[in-house]
Chains A and B, each alone.
Chain A
Amino acid sequence: MDFSFLSEPAFSGGGTYFDWVLTGIKWTMLVSLCAWVIAFTVGSVLGILRTTNVIWLRGPATAYVELFRNIPLLVHMFIWYFVMPEMVPKALGTWMKTGMPMPEFWSAVFALGFYTASRVAEQVRSGIQSIPRGQTNAALATGLTMPQVYRHVLLPMGYRIVVPPLTSEFLTIFKNSSVALTIGVLELTAQARTISEYTFRTFEIFTLATVVYVVITLAVVVLMQYVETRIRVPGYIGTGR
């Protein structure tokens, strides 16, 4: 393995190949984090709605989850990037095609964010539903209203239960951000492929990209294990006593 090509100036300008790798990491991070903001907020709302007894809140949330998670992410990407500008009013569509800054980036963020929201919703729902019904009943019996039960009993418990599955959803969004290369976002995997085409150092550059993904995954896992131990609910399985 010879990594010296990384310090060579890139074939088509824009600094050295190493700078390209850094740019790739930057876009991977930006796409993942922005999409996670959407996924977490929308997914939380949908997940909570799915646990309510009100059918006209639960129904649409269920429909959203079923619609979004049964379509591959690649199709989501293409729909946000190619189809959306044609479906919205003409003036907006023209702006999306010609005036909007970084159209690939925002399409990727929306596609990945709204797709992952359906998966986050399922995790939040199962977290809330795993809380024994007695807790809701007890809270209601002490005179709390239903919104108060959610605010003070179900959500504080539920979110602590779903930290591990949400961590793996975050890692999934981070890996899935590579699908953004199909609409032209130059994230890490895209940069690795381009560099391998220019330099024929395929083995080295793919190894480097893989190592970056593994390191970021490990960092997130270690960080979340720390968070998990800090927010554990005493007296539950997994607290170690």
Chain B
Amino acid sequence: MFTGFDFDVIQRSLPYLWQGMQFTLGLTLLAMASGIVLGTLLALMRLSGIKAMSVPAAGYVNLLRSTPAILVIFWFYFLVPIAIKHISGDSYAQGIGPFHSALIAFTMFEAAYYCEIIRAGIQSVPAGQVNAAYALGLNYWQATLQIVLPQAFRNMVPILLTQSIILFQDTSLVYVVGLTDFMGAASKVAQRDGRLVEMYLFAALVYFILCFIGSYFVKRLQQRITPPR
């Protein structure tokens, strides 16, 4: 089955694949950080008693969660340049480049998923904590930032990390707009050298090892922070 398997092509293309992996990791970490920030804001909006806040947030989250990731990537590829021209008022404005378009697309997309995780986390904080905070004279932002969110995030860290592993896998979809992430690099080498079998199996192996180690540590973390029953 592995006769005629060319391991050399993998070795030759390692520097190029590493460039792709740096793109993937950079995109994952930045989209994760900004997605969690945006997701937290969306979750606070969804939980707010003010209709003008909660309805748009719920609409946004439900819309993004029922749209495929690839379609969202296409949407932002199309919308981001238009938005930049609109904001800058310069119809010849330069784009912000494919990396930033992808970053915005994944941030907006993942924020919807992070929002639902964070919302559940906030709701798991006992109501007495909020009441006690208000009784002490804290205002909304003080209570949220100093009492609710620290407790909520402690419970949510494993699920947020699991979602980030999914995000790491999803970033491979930037292939559809021709970007050179890890998968994009692998498939470019595969097609240039006609070595599809080697490159795709190697890509699968790398993704598997990274995600497997990632999920293992998440599981360990979860066991550590879950109170014994």
Contact = CB atoms under 8 A, between A and B. Distances in A.
Interface string B43-73: 0000000000000000000010011111100
Given A75-B204, A203-B78, A83 B197 contact: yes
A79 B36 CA distance: 32
B207 A206 contact: no
B169 A206 contact: no
A176 interface: yes
Main secondary structure of the interface of B (DSSP, over half): helix
A66 B74 CA distance: 30
Interface residues of A, number: 36
Contacts of B215: 66, 70
B126 to A, nearest CB: 18
B23 interface: no
Contacts of B67: 175, 210, 213-214
Contact of A86 (B66, B197, B207): B197
B160 interface: no
A175 B69 contact: yes
A102 interface: no
B144 interface: no
Contacts of A75: 172, 183, 200, 203-204, 207
Contact of B173 (A78, A179, A193): A179
A127 B75 CA distance: 37
B19 to A, nearest CB: 19
B127 interface: no
A79 B172 contact: no
B200 A82 contact: yes
Contacts of B70: 178-179, 181, 189
A240 interface: no
Interface in B200-228: 200-201, 203-204, 207-208, 211-212, 215
B208 A214 contact: no
A209 interface: yes
B155 interface: no
B175 interface: yes
B171 to A, nearest CB: 8
Nearest to B187: A78
Contacts of B68: 175-179, 189, 213
A217 interface: yes
Contacts of B212: 66, 70
A32 to B, nearest CB: 11
A48 interface: no
Given A78-B200, A78-B203, 16 more contacts: A66-B215, A70-B208, A70-B211, A71-B208, A73-B169, A74-B172, A75-B172, A78-B196, A86-B197, A177-B68, A178-B71, A182-B175, A189-B68, A189-B74, A206-B71, A209-B71
Interface of B: 1, 63, 66-71, 74-75, 78, 169-170, 172-173, 175-176, 183, 187, 190, 196-197, 200-201, 203-204, 207-208, 211-212, 215
13 contacts: A66-B212, A70-B211, A71-B211, A72-B170, A72-B172, A74-B172, A79-B200, A87-B1, A175-B67, A176-B68, A202-B78, A206-B78, A210-B75
